[in-house]
Amino acid sequence: MPRHDPDHPHMPLLTVTADTLVAADFSSRRRPRTAPRKGRGELRDQPQQTRTRRRTDTPTPSGALAPYRALFQHPGTLRFTAGGILARLPMGMFSVSAILMIAGARGSYALAGAVVATGLAATGLVAPWTARLVDRHGQARIAVPATAVALLGALSLIACVHWNAPAWTLFASYAATATVPNTGGMSRARWAHLLKGDPAALHTANSFEQAADELCFMIGPVAAAFLCTTLFPEAGTLVGGLLCMTGVLLFTAQRATEPPPTGRTTAKSPLRATGIPPLLAVFLATGAVFGSLEVVTIAYADARGHASSAGVILGLQAAGSCAAGLAYGALRVPGPTERRLRRCLAAMTVLMALPWLTATATGSLLFLAPALLLAGMATAPTMVTAMALVQRRTPQGQLNEGMTLAVTGLLGGIAGGSALGGWVVEHATTAGTGPAPDTAGFAVPVAAAALALLIAVIRPNSRSPIDAL
């Protein structure tokens, strides 16, 4: 029990806490500062105010998920993250939905593919300008009307397909969806604004965002195929457009976490910023890895009579990437970011060889699936590290534009890699070269990953290679 003598007001209050004797001095005289002693008595020798502050501090989260729990202790982060994921989910739905809808109504996969390719090209042209407007005028002011225009384009596409409008209307309608903003870039910009000066926390946030991207592109195509084949052909495009609009409205409603607009700036374009062009080339080559791997895997499964299994196998690759991204974000990886990127690209080059070797040696989808799972584990850490470099090298006030340029490079690489992978599969199979000609396409993602590594080991604005990986 605490002891205190009321007849001696300057006597200290004594109490026992566990095995520690605590003395609280209520006298008005100043007590001399005592030099702290090592060991268990150190806390007792500290001033009363310091002891109290240490006892009342909020405990720091611990455990493997501690970095992620710490992220969402910031007010408003959970709400804008939920809105951002909802807005990004349709990004994996639009292409598949459009292909199924157009091919089902017009009976032409060539027309459907051409319409989708036109939309990707339009996105490559329009997205950087949309991102520049977001940087200048704010996310809510630009993202909402831009998404509304994209939704109108999706609705127009549905109407043109349903009422058998001329083919050119399909191209025009789908091209209008290119105004949809890069919600992933805007979300990363919010984290960069909130976590300014805390590179470790920003690394975790970037890893989480990359895992969210992987999750959306893993679920999106499956959801699109289910909606279009189970309900009606237009269902995937309709639901995707509504989800995108709803997610952007929820995302932009969180104004407290929105970075302030920069207005017009005299800074040069991110395209001309030091170190950005080589990074965009890395994104282009990395996109070729993704695009070619998807096409050659589908062709490999189809050649063995299991085309329906291709989606599940590719889903394993995305699942491996998502899991690796979350694990990477929980780590505190030492060393400069540039060196980490080179190591990630080297790991991706090595792991991308696993599907090629497995397919050639076994010819079995059962063995290819775990090989793709392992190969996917290098992609998310690579993307996280590359995006961190984009954030660092982009001029102040142009972060959305810089990250959107990176995504545009990635999409361009996906398109080019898909075309190259398909060409290699078709010609190698026709020529019948090698012991397993239908596995030759798996060499394309390996070559693309090696090209990305080669670009990364060359210094920006220099012809000399970096000394060590």
Where does residue 296 rank: exposed (0-12), middle (13-18), buried (19+ CB within 10 A)? buried
The 10s digit of each residue's pLDDT in 252-276 is 998 888 888 876 766 667 777 777 8
pTM above 0.85, yes or no: no
CATH number 3.30.360.10 is the correct assignment for the domain at 78-264: no
Please give the Cα distance from 306 to 319 (Å, whole number).
Answer: 20
Neighbours of 12 (CB within 10 A): 14
Whether residue 398 has pLDDT greater than 90 = no
**Domain 268-469 in the same topology as domain 78-264:** yes
Residue 348: partners with Cβ closer than 8 Å, 6 or more residues away: 286, 289, 375, 378, 379, 382, 449, 452, 453
Whether residue 149 has pLDDT greater than 50 = yes
Question: Which CATH superfamily includes the segment(s) 268-469?
Answer: MFS general substrate transporter like domains (1.20.1250.20)
The per-residue pLDDT for 41 is 45
Domain residue spans of the chain: 78-264, 268-469
The 10s digit of each residue's pLDDT in 59-111 is 445 566 777 788 788 888 888 899 989 998 888 788 878 888 888 888 777 78
Mean pLDDT confidence for 221-239 = 86
Token reading at 427: 């010609």
